[in-house]
Structure 1
């Protein structure tokens, strides 16, 4: 699993920082948009919030417990804000690579603040998109917390936790095919040590969140 995370992070980072030439191949069809310049519908902001999920991510994705109705929830909430930009696309724009910066605040039983920087790989070519425009995305990045909560310390596996952890945020979005600029976003906002890749504090915390993203 550690090798998978390493390969994914390296591949996305390398392809973003070292864009391929436009004639890299019709099947790949790489398009590099860059980090600066006019947005042209490639920029976005999002406001989102949700509830602390106690069910481990391994149970959710590796053991098939994908239904949020079966998860266990804690007494903490989260609200966040992010800004993102599409920097590249490939395979006839089926896939997109996006950068994101975000800040957030926990409340309830936890009260720390968070900030993160991440790269997202997004797939956006589902067969029903003419009826309900849908995308899915997953991230790799770093998340910094202003403190280490008792909950996170208990999950760390090293009795102390870590303020800097890996940021993994799988999400699914829905929008009207007639107006893709407004998206309903369901995201699992998750930070952990990524099986030792980022930190020896293996476990972290996560929130099931719902948000609105505006593209411009």
Structure 2
């Protein structure tokens, strides 16, 4: 347990360092300038499936929790507002046991849909791979039922962010933190955590 926690904390520090590096605009070989963001979030794992976990007020929860950091890098926002980028993240998972998680993958989103004169809504979806140092709770029980390992699974994270129309560099968001084997395609087991967080753009 101590090794897992140490690895998780070290990973989070590394991602925080990467987030600091994102405060500088990073041009690629073609001269494009990329922007970045860093987010912190936390929440509880549910006992429901992916669809049930979309209703955070009704889905049952278990005594397992996640605290994570996510770093994003994206291309300049085009006129249509469609954002394409890459996300890496790390998290500590605690409760029945303690483990670490890392994930990485591309994401697709929108720079912001105006809701009146004061609020912008920015949806996004991240898809990639997630690796953990140990399983717990519903994830562990589903892995045993599936007959596969939960150590490496697909990662899928739909998100809805809200920000001020006057200052959209800071967002609050709700995010479904999901990992699964996609019906046995990769490993076994699945986990869903409903989370809330804060993101700062640079």
Same fold (TM over 0.5): yes
Are 1:185 and 2:173 counterparts? yes
2:155 and 2:180 in contact (8 A); partners too: yes
Task: State the shift of 1:78 in Å.
Answer: 0.7
Out of 169-178 and 130-139, give the one that drifted further: 130-139
Equivalent residue, structure 1, for 2:201:
215
- Pick aligned residue for 1:152 from 130, 139, 145: 139
Q: Which residue, out of 135, 140, 151, partners 1:163? A: 151
Unaligned stretches of 5+ residues in structure 1: 1-32, 61-65
Tell me which residue corresponds to 1:78.
66
The alpha-carbon distance between structure 1 residues 143 and 200, as it changes in their structure 2 partners (threshold 3 A), is closer
Which of 192, 195, 201 is the aligned partner of 1:206? Answer: 192
Within a 5 Å distance, the mapping from 1:1-150 to structure 2 comes to 42-60=35-53, 66-87=54-75, 89=77, 92-128=79-115, 130-149=117-136
Could you say what the CA RMSD is over the residues aligned between the two structures, in angstroms? 2.4
CA offset digits 1:81-139 (Å, max 9, x no partner)? 1111113655x332111211100001112311100001111024524264211111111
C-alpha deviation, 1:59, in angstroms: 3.4
Contact 1:186–1:208 at 8 Å: present in 2 too? yes
Contact 2:124 2:158 (8 Å CA) reproduced: yes
- Change in 2 beyond 3 A, CA 1:43/1:72: same
Output the CA distance in 2 between the equivalents of 1:50 and 1:143.
17
* Residues 46 and 213, structure 1, Cα contact 8 Å, conserved in 2: yes
TM-score (norm 1): 0.72
The DSSP-based 3-state class of the residue aligned with 1:68 is coil
Give yes or no for contact 2:32–2:75 (8 Å, CA) kept in 1. no
Q: Which runs of 5+ in 2 are unaligned?
A: 1-26
What is the deviation of 1:68?
A: 1.4
SS at match of 2:80: coil
TM-score normalized by structure 2? 0.77
